[in-house]
Amino acid sequence: MSNEIKTQVVVLGAGPGGYSAAFRAADLGLEVVLVERYSTLGGVCLNVGCIPSKALLHLAKHIEDSKHMADHGVSFGEAKIDLDKIRAHKEKVVGQLTGGLDQMSKMRKVKVVTGKGEFTGANELKVVGDEETTIKFDNAIIAAGSQPVELPFIPHDDKRIWDSTDALELPFVPEKMLILGGGIIGLEMGCVYSALGSKLDVVEFMDQLIPAADKDLIKVFTKEMQKKYENIMLETKVTKVEAKKDGIHVTFEGKNAPEKPVKYDAVLVAVGRTPNGKKIGADKAGVDVDDRGFIKTDNQLRTSADNIFAIGDIIGQPMLAHKAVHEGHVAAENIAGKKHFFEPKVIPSIAYTDPEVAWAGVTEKEAKEQGIKYEAVTFPWSASGRAIASNATNGFTKLIFDKENDRLIGGAMVGSHAGELLGEVCLAIEMGSDAEDIALTVHAHPTLHESVGLAAEIYEGSITDLPNKKAKKK
Amino acid sequence: MADAKEVKVPDVGGDEVEVIEVLVSKGDSVDAEESLITVESDKASMDIPAPFAGTIEDIKVKEGDKIKEGDLLALIAEASGSSDDGDDSDDSSDDSSDDAEEPEADSDESDDEQAQAADDSADEDDDSGEAKVIDVEVPDIGEDGEVEVIEVLVKEGDSVNAEDGLITLETDKATMDVPCPEAGTVKEVVVKEGDKVKQGSLVIKLEVKGSGGAKKAKSKDSGSSDAKSKDKQASSSASTSSDSKEDSSQESSSQETSSSRSRKPPVPDHPLARKGQSEGIVHASPSVRRVAREFGVDLSQVKGSGPKDRILKEDVQQFVKYELSRPKASSAPSTGGEGGLQVIAQPKVDFEKFGEVEKVQMSRIQRISGPNLHRNWVTIPHVTQFDEADITELESFRKSENEMQAKMKTGMKFTPLVFIMKACAQALREYPVFNSSLHEDGEHLIMKKYVHIGIAVDTPNGLVVPVVRDVDKKGIKQLTEELNEISAKARDGKLKATDMQGGCFSISSLGGIGGTAFTPIVNAPDVAILGVSKSEMKPVWNGKEFVPRLKLPLSLSYDHRVIDGAVAARFTTYLNHALSDIRKLLL
């Protein structure tokens, strides 16, 4: 029969946002129950998102790099792919992290209830799993996340039509594969399958891959992608997907559409994610959910119900784990009586493709739209000793400064390890650093991250590693 | 080789510095790097060295001068070959080639500057020699802090005459207009309603007809008269046009604008003001923003003490402390929270239930003075001493004197008030405790050695209290003139804040209207105030009979913490005697 639990805080969803909120609340002395529908904690990110994809991308990168080594005098021969072993490796990585979460919830005395949770009232949540549990709570944090968007004209049931979760399962290496959607998730998986030997096409409705990022970055990025993809179809959409015995037949329409339908062995649908707001009985708790399934919160993450908070993908874009984690902390802290707000200046975005694309803060596009008087400076990695030595000269680092006060308002980079360079940019923006602050910070040499300092020097007019356009002024 | 060369002030790392010592004099020979003058900035003092060896032909600055980068410092005839290392010839050729490049550098500059801010248009106009743009700043308004701009009276393109009002400012005590210094055309309005300004804040850029003359004369000007009066920005850009080597001066001027921009918002002065401040200007890290949120502090109000005006946690703490310690302003009219006065709120009454009503805005002065009056009323233990002065003789003297003045057509007319002022001044000298203020520690008195008396003046806008200075040292005639002048100013709303500061004691005279007595409220930090009601002929027993005497009712309210009742009675008695027999005023 049904159990009943009483608790101060229930957290619905154990993804990065949910477990962070639960652990933070527990650390602040609250009694916490964490509800998760799957048997492992960690949500999409740890189980079928960020982490497994990075495990595979790591392998992909080495496969690709080993091919180029021959040019530098080191030959490895053809890579041999053992799909089962790769899968096992990936699962080990995931298992290590999710296992860690189990332990940490035990340490913090966070009770985990497995099953699908739905609100039945303003202070009650019903969880249906192997058994049914009713949780009476004072406060709740909704962290129920999102799931891949499914398109109505696509037969998603077919085994050869994948979403990101399916693709990460590595069911087989298709000979010819279509990535539907030129965003981060699709392109990352594309890198994996390209390295494993698939021939790839990608189709994107907008006029560039990763539409949110600045054009100059994507120009470099697309050039690299052209080596991996047979056909990059921009400003093109898919109108028909037919699952036949010999393959998936896809019909395109638009600027770069092939005339005839193309046959693929697999299609990865990666056109975005949709929030799970409508699946949790939010209305019964008095939590407003909009038409698209997003829950609206104030900047303390409180929903329309005073005792219920919401965080992560379910409250809006960007749907990123690091945003959810910080929101989780703020929500837990507010429940614990603190008066905290979620108001960061920037939330970074990274595509872990090869090369990586990373940006934070205002993009040049946004700066123009917002009428900011800005100046963008770019340090090409072709002038970086470390990049040259590491075969990474195709990248560059761009910083965007507010000309009114010389403060950094945005930064972006494309290239190997670009994502690892972004941290400095985020910190600099949060701290209100101006160009001089960054230029006067001693960056280690030779590194890729020194390109951030050097870009600031370009703005300052003190650069010596490149011709200095502003030399006369200083 | 003995041509005199100009030596200009190098980058001194600030806007203006004061010359505190001139170390050389005309005819001295100096070596390269020998100190010429010592200057002092707000951070340090430093010597300015001679750039090359030579003989001083002329020194253009003197002690006490304010100078800045690019100003002409001295003329030095360069010594030939006598200086160090023989690279002297290189030096001089460098110099001359610099000179030759000057015009080019200049034009480069203006190209760049076009892209810069509007104030550079001043330069171009300057160069054209026809009209020039000057910066009009807020003059001394007698306020240390910032005051709010409540109205902007001109807009871009307006023609204005000298003395026309440009903007209206509101201080604690009054409103005032900032007048236009010269006739011209408004080129740019820099302030807007709601801005906080203080002395030196830029108000408008005004295009005025140039005084004529060639460029040369003008560039000399900019060194002296211009620089004195004009805003720092203007003078630095003026020097840009006239002098060379402006690469760095441009930098300093842009630094200046940016620092003055970031300096402007903070000053924790008015909790409700400054809403439009864009979030982006605030310079605070995430942890500081969090602390600010916890205390509900609007960071745009906080002055940052960190590098580049960054707001530190300590600044937020200081701000909160300051806000908690300062008296509650108009926001809390119901409870004088300061002294922990817990009173219940006024009941809300729906007046319309009882008949037709109309909601009328109180005058600005009322709204400003209300909270001050309230504070004084609840925090000062008031006692009011009443008395009546016999002014029969005074009045007959005053009237005959006025007749005399009328006959002589001097235009002078004495009022009773000046005599009362004079008598009060004497009484304040006699009983100095009335001429004091209570120290904030509550344990000391500040005794004033001057006698300035505030006179409450009823104006169409409300009650104001202008101050007449050194009443004890002035004669009746002079006081009459000053009182007339200041009353007229008060009625026209032209009082400056300084006109209303520094009072030691106040007089509120309702004698012209009526009433037998009233209880005025002490105008803190004064400790006493004299109320004067309408004089009346009364029967007085002189020992044998009742005689009619003109009696002037006096009501002296005082701060009982400072003044004992006995002293107060003595004070009014003294006043009484002085007014009854004004010969005493001579003593």
Rounded to a whole number of angstroms, the distance from the CA of B257 to the nearest CA of chain A is: 10
Residues in Cβ contact with B551 at an 8 Å cutoff, skipping those fewer than 6 apart: B388, B389, B390, B391, B535, B536, B537, B538, B540
- Report the helix count and the strand count for chain B, using DSSP H and E: 13, 27
Question: Which member of B258, B261, B286 has the closest CB to residue A430?
Answer: B286
User: Is B564 known to be catalytic?
Assistant: yes
Distance CA B11, CA A55 (A): 57
CATH code that applies to domain B4-100: 2.40.50.100
Nearest CA in chain A to B109: A473
Helix (H) or strand (E) holding B67: strand B66-67
Kindly list the residues from chain B whose CB atom is less than 8 angstroms away from the CB atom of residue A406: 258
SS3 content of chain B, % helix, strand, coil (to 5): 35, 25, 40
Nearest CA in chain A to B250: A473
Chain A within 8 Å of B263 (Cβ-Cβ)? no
> Any idea which fold B122-263 has?
OB fold (Dihydrolipoamide Acetyltransferase, E2P) (2.40.50)
Rounded to a whole number of angstroms, the distance from the CA of B137 to the nearest CA of chain A is: 23
Q: How many residues does chain B have?
A: 587
Q: Nearest CA to A160 among A263, A229, A252, A248?
A: A248
Kindly list the residues from chain A whose CB atom is less than 8 angstroms away from the CB atom of residue B286: 344-345, 430
CB B526 within 8 A of CB B437: yes
Catalytic residue among B226, B504, B526, B559: B504
Query: Rounded to 5 degrees, what angle do the CA atoms A186, A187, A189 make?
Result: 70
Q: Following CA atoms A80, A82, A88, A94 in sequence, which dihedral angle do they give, to the nearest 10 degrees?
A: 50
Domain assignments of chain B as residue spans, ordered by start? 4-100, 122-263, 281-325, 366-586
Kindly list the residues from chain B whose CB atom is less than 8 angstroms away from the CB atom of residue A341: 290, 293
Nearest CA in chain A to B256: A405
Rounded to a whole number of angstroms, the distance from the CA of A47 to the nearest CA of chain B is: 31
Residues of chain A with pLDDT under 50: 474
Burial A96-133 (b: 16+ CB within 10 A, else e): ebbeebeeebeebebbbbbbbbbbeeebbbbbeeeeeb
The ipTM of this complex is 0.70
Annotated binding residues of A for NAD(+)? 181-188, 204, 272
Write phi, then psi, for B76 (nearest 5 degrees).
-125, 125
The predicted pLDDT at position A437 comes to 92
Q: Following CA atoms A219, A221, A225, A231 in sequence, which dihedral angle do they give, to the nearest 10 degrees?
A: -30
Chain A within 8 Å of B294 (Cβ-Cβ)? yes
The predicted pLDDT at position B388 comes to 93
Nearest CA in chain A to B291: A340
Rounded to a whole number of angstroms, the distance from the CA of A407 to the nearest CA of chain B is: 10
Tokens of B284: 């605070």
Distance CA B241, CA B411 (A): 54
Are B4-100 and B122-263 in the same CATH fold?
Answer: yes
Rounded to a whole number of angstroms, the distance from the CA of A142 to the nearest CA of chain B is: 23
CB A352 within 8 A of CB A44: no
CB A451 within 8 A of CB A381: yes
Judged by CB atoms closer than 8 Å, whether chains meet at B284 and A432 is answered as: yes
3-class SS letters over chain A: CCEEEEEEEEEECCCHHHHHHHHHHHHCCCCEEEEECCCCCCHHHHHHCHHHHHHHHHHHHHHHHHHHHHHHCCCCCCCCCCHHHHHHHHHHHHHHHHHHHHHHHHHCCCEEEECEEEEEECCEEEEECCCEEEEEEEEEEECCCEEECCCCCCCCCCCCEECHHHHHCCCCCCCEEEEECCCHHHHHHHHHHHHHCCEEEEECCCCCCCCCCCHHHHHHHHHHHHHHEEEEECCEEEEEEEEECCEEEEEEEECCCCCCCEEECEEEECCCEEECHHHCCHHHHCCCECCCCCECCCCCCECCCCCEEECHHHHCCCCCHHHHHHHHHHHHHHHCCCCCCCCCCCCCEEECCCCEEEEEECCHHHHHHCCCCEEEEEEEHHHCHHHHHCCCCCCEEEEEEECCCCEEEEEEEEECCHHHHHHHHHHHHHCCCEHHHHHHCCCCCCCCCHHHHHHHHHHHCCCCCCCCCCHHHC
pLDDT per residue rounded down to tens, chain B (587 residues): 456 788 888 776 666 777 878 888 888 888 877 788 887 766 566 778 788 888 888 888 888 888 877 888 888 887 764 444 444 444 444 444 444 444 444 444 444 444 444 444 444 444 444 567 888 888 777 666 778 888 888 888 888 887 788 888 876 666 777 878 888 888 888 888 888 888 888 888 888 875 443 333 333 333 344 434 444 443 344 333 334 343 433 333 333 333 333 333 333 333 333 333 344 557 788 888 888 888 888 888 888 888 888 888 888 888 888 888 766 544 444 433 444 556 677 777 888 888 888 888 888 788 888 888 888 888 899 999 999 999 999 999 999 999 998 998 888 889 999 999 999 999 999 999 999 998 888 888 999 999 999 999 888 878 888 999 999 999 989 999 999 999 888 888 888 878 888 899 999 998 888 889 999 999 988 999 999 999 999 999 989 999 999 999 999 999 999 999 999 999 999 999 999 988 887 77
Query: Rounded to 5 degrees, what angle do the CA atoms B516, B395, B584 make?
Result: 100
Question: Which member of B112, B293, B308 has the closest CB to residue A434?
Answer: B308
Cis check: omega of the bond before B49, within 30 degrees of 0: no
Kindly list the residues from chain B whose CB atom is less than 8 angstroms away from the CB atom of residue A405: 258, 261-262, 281
CB A259 within 8 A of CB A239: no
Give me the residue label for tokens 């032909």.
B57
Annotated binding residues of A for FAD? 54, 117, 313, 319-322
CB B36 within 8 A of CB B73: yes
Chain A within 8 Å of B291 (Cβ-Cβ)? no
Residue type, A363: T
Instruction: Classify residue B300 by its DSSP letter.
Output: G
User: Is A58 known to be catalytic?
Assistant: no
Instruction: Classify residue B380 by its DSSP letter.
Output: S
Q: Counting Cβ atoms within 10 Å, is residue A1 exposed (0-12), middle (13-18) or buried (19+)?
A: exposed
The predicted pLDDT at position B144 comes to 67
What is the separation of C-alpha B382 from the centre of its chain, rounded to a whole number of angstroms? 31
Write phi, then psi, for B148 (nearest 5 degrees).
-95, 140
CB A143 within 8 A of CB A17: yes
Helix (H) or strand (E) holding B292: helix B286-295
The predicted pLDDT at position B178 comes to 80
For chain A, the straight-line distance linking the first and the last C-alpha, in angstroms and rounded, comes to 79
Q: How many CB atoms lie within 10 A of CB A2?
A: 10
Annotated binding residues of A? 54, 117, 181-188, 204, 272, 313, 319-322
Residues in Cβ contact with A222 at an 8 Å cutoff, skipping those fewer than 6 apart: A208, A209, A232
> Any idea which fold B281-325 has?
Dihydrolipoamide Transferase (4.10.320)
Residue type, B422: K
The predicted pLDDT at position B89 comes to 41
Judged by CB atoms closer than 8 Å, whether chains meet at B261 and A341 is answered as: no
Domains and CATH numbers, chain A: 3-147+275-335 (3.50.50.60), 161-271 (3.50.50.60), 349-467 (3.30.390.30)
Judged by CB atoms closer than 8 Å, whether chains meet at B262 and A339 is answered as: no
Nearest CA in chain B to A427: B285
Kindly list the residues from chain B whose CB atom is less than 8 angstroms away from the CB atom of residue A402: 280
Distance CA A86, CA A92 (A): 10
Query: Rounded to 5 degrees, what angle do the CA atoms B96, B99, B105 make?
Result: 140
CATH code that applies to domain B366-586: 3.30.559.10
- Those residues of chain A whose CB sits closer than 8 Å to some CB in chain B are 338-341, 343-345, 402, 404-407, 409, 430-432, 434, 472-474
Kindly list the residues from chain B whose CB atom is less than 8 angstroms away from the CB atom of residue A344: 286
CB B476 within 8 A of CB B456: no
Judged by CB atoms closer than 8 Å, whether chains meet at B281 and A405 is answered as: yes
